[in-house]
Amino acid sequence: MPDPSAWLNVDQQDELLIVTINRPEKRNAINDALLLGLEAVFSAIPDGVKAAVLCAEGQHFSAGLDLSELQERDIVDGLHHSRMWHRVLDRIQFGTVPVVAVLKGACVGGGLEIASACHIRVAEQSTFYALPEGQRGIFVGGGASVRLPKLIGMSRMADMMFTGRVVSADEGVWMGLSHYVVLDGDGLTKGIELAKRIAKNAPMTNYALMHVLPRIADSSQSEGLLMESLMATIAQSSTEAKDRLRDFLEGRAKKVGE
């Protein structure tokens, strides 16, 4: 298998890890080596890193699955391949640090699946979203059927697949595909700014948002409320929470909006 580091740049900037998909000549199409490279990076976040930014070289975030590899798979290989995507994207979603995705150009198929496993999505104005699997005669296999309905609702996802339509950056933010649209060019600056803010949170808060909130959302009301109480009690009893509350009460902490 080719060396995945050829298609991934990883740059630690203090508390942030900037991970860049670097295969622009193939519009950042994701082959197996690149996917496994992402798994390796997000499985070994260096000590001291508190948030990550996932961005891409070139004009496009990702054209999705490398279709040249798809042609060679039989049914069993196809099943393992889809499960490999699930494993890697779970590694991003349920890893050790929150991940901010910076989107531009094509964010389609598997590219949208990767973006939807990240915790915050910033879209440059050039971003466009699509699920061309329907047109290619296949089905999503990288977790989109689970993650996208949570972002935009099942019927909007079905519409994207039935019709193959392209969703613009502006429509995408309205639908819930991204949290932010950056009007003037540079999404990376915005992504880094957000990641720096996230890195300043108490680690227990970020843990709860990454690992507990999605489980609560998947639970029944009574289980969810119990999990919320347990998480709230653990978070409140941490030394960091006590210090932060004291800072506010004694006038040292920022007010909301400052």
The footprint of ligand 1HE (CB under 6 A) covers 26-27, 29, 60, 63-68, 85, 106, 108-110, 113, 132-133, 136, 140-142
Catalytic residue among 15, 25, 69, 113: 113
Cβ 131 to ligand 1HE shortest distance, Å: 8
Of 27 and 190, which CB lies nearer to ligand 1HE in the complex structure?
27
Query: Looking at this protein, which amino acid is placed at residue 14?
Result: D
Catalytic residue among 72, 133, 171, 223: 133
- 70-93: string of b/e by CB count within 10 Å (b at 16+)? eeeeeeeeeeebbebbeebbebbb
Respond yes or no: is residue 133 known to be catalytic: yes
Of 50 and 60, which CB lies nearer to ligand 1HE in the complex structure?
60
Of 17 and 160, which CB lies nearer to ligand 1HE in the complex structure?
160
Respond yes or no: is residue 113 known to be catalytic: yes
Of 129 and 195, which CB lies nearer to ligand 1HE in the complex structure?
129
Cβ 31 to ligand 1HE shortest distance, Å: 8
Residue/partner pairs of 216-225 with CB below 8 Å, 24 or more apart: 217/150
- Helical axes 75-93 vs 32-43, angle rounded to 10°: 30
* Residues 51, 97 contacting (CB under 8 angstroms): yes
Which residue, 139, 18, 23, 19, is CA-closest to 85?
Answer: 139
Cβ 107 to ligand 1HE shortest distance, Å: 9
Cβ 80 to ligand 1HE shortest distance, Å: 12
Taking residue 119's Cβ as centre, other Cβ atoms within 10 Å add up to: 22
Question: Which residues are known catalytic residues?
Answer: 113, 133
